[in-house]
Amino acid sequence: MEPKRIREGYLVKRLFLLSLQGSVFNTWKPMWVVLLEDGIEFYKKKSDNSPKGMIPLKGSTLTSPCQDFGKRMFVFKITTTKQQDHFFQAAFLEERDAWVRDIKKAIKCIEGGQKFARKSTRRSIRLPETVDLGALYLSMKDMEKGIKELNLEKDKKIFNHCFTGNCVIDWLVSNKSVRNRQEGLMIASSLLGEGYLQPAGELSKNAADGTAENPFLDNPDAFYYFPDSGFFCEENSSDDDAILKEEFRGVIIKQGCLLKQGHRRKNWKVRKFILREDPAYMHYYDPAGGEDPLGAIHLRGCVVTSVESNSDAVRKSEEENLFEIITADEVHYFLQAATPKERTEWIKAIQVASRTGK
């Protein structure tokens, strides 16, 4: 009997390649990754029959967050019994945490000789001092009761979609998540260490890098942001720059990896997409790295529909789940989701953004 597929999707993996000169170099490439009950397989494409490699989970350890690569966010590491390190990067925080939870559970099931099951029969016992950082993070992001994201100015720079360190501690205390500010400082430092909060500005970055006594600062001049909030920093700039930055002011409502067909060569490549509303834009990035988007789709007034794979309008693809965006300027974009459910979710989200955004 084949091992059960627990989770699958696009992740960026660190690979070691051999150059023509015979030297070994490393690079990051998007791969189709499949988590099984006993290991992880990774494929060059979702449609490939044979994996490029397999990582056994028995005896392996998982490290998350993995901060070995500086600016690369949402990375986790799997170390096998042969001390081989495998690095994966997710598109956003919740995606990384979902993979990490399932991999940890698969390893634990192997150790205990149990079958992987989504639903646990164990009762969750929460001690007073125990804090669920993931649940706390979601509460902090709540649109009505969470921490308010602001545009803050300091040193002739404007920090968009962020908040101050003392606001985080104020929120933790007022919501009775902690008993006092000292305990709040400890919890905020844990949120920072786990990647649920990110430092913005020199003061908070220096503290996080270890130049201060505490990695998190209970300070009105220390700025922080949620990693998937759409944060960006801008200096005093021209009107043209201000217009460009307007695209990024919208709230992120969906993100993840999709296949995109190129307009010239008509080839398909994996791209990381971030969908924002008000203003309604869909930016796409190289998932292997790079902070700047490769392009943007203005969604206001667009039409989005599912497409049959045998359509004459799109070069033959090896999979189903295609959809098309036609902008108000009549530019056509063909995209491909991993599953029918994912395609439906993207279409619905884009339709909502196109009606409500600028």
Q: pLDDT digit string (tens) for 318-345?
A: 568 999 999 999 999 999 999 899 999 9
- Rounded to the nearest 10 degrees, the angle between the axes of helix 165-174 and helix 181-193 is 120
Query: Which pLDDT tens digit goes with each residue over 293-312?
Result: 999 999 999 999 998 765 55
- Which residues are CB-neighbours of 34 under 8 A, at least 6 positions away? 5, 7, 8, 40, 41, 42, 43, 51
Name the residue among 119, 112, 122, 109 with its Cα closest to residue 37: 109
Query: Tokens 């959809």 appear where?
Result: 323
pLDDT at 241: 47
Is beta strand 39-43 parallel, antiparallel or unpaired with respect to 232-235? unpaired
Which H/E stretch holds residue 353? helix 340-356
- Rounded to the nearest 10 degrees, the angle between the axes of helix 181-193 and helix 133-140 is 100
Average of per-residue pLDDT values in the chain: 84
Q: Which structural domains are found in the chain, ordered by start?
A: 5-112 (2.30.29.30), 146-232 (1.10.10.10), 249-356 (2.30.29.30)
Region 14-31: what's the mean pLDDT?
81
What pTM was computed for the model? 0.67
- Which residues are CB-neighbours of 265 under 8 A, at least 6 positions away? none
Q: Are 159 and 223 in contact (CB under 8 A)?
A: yes
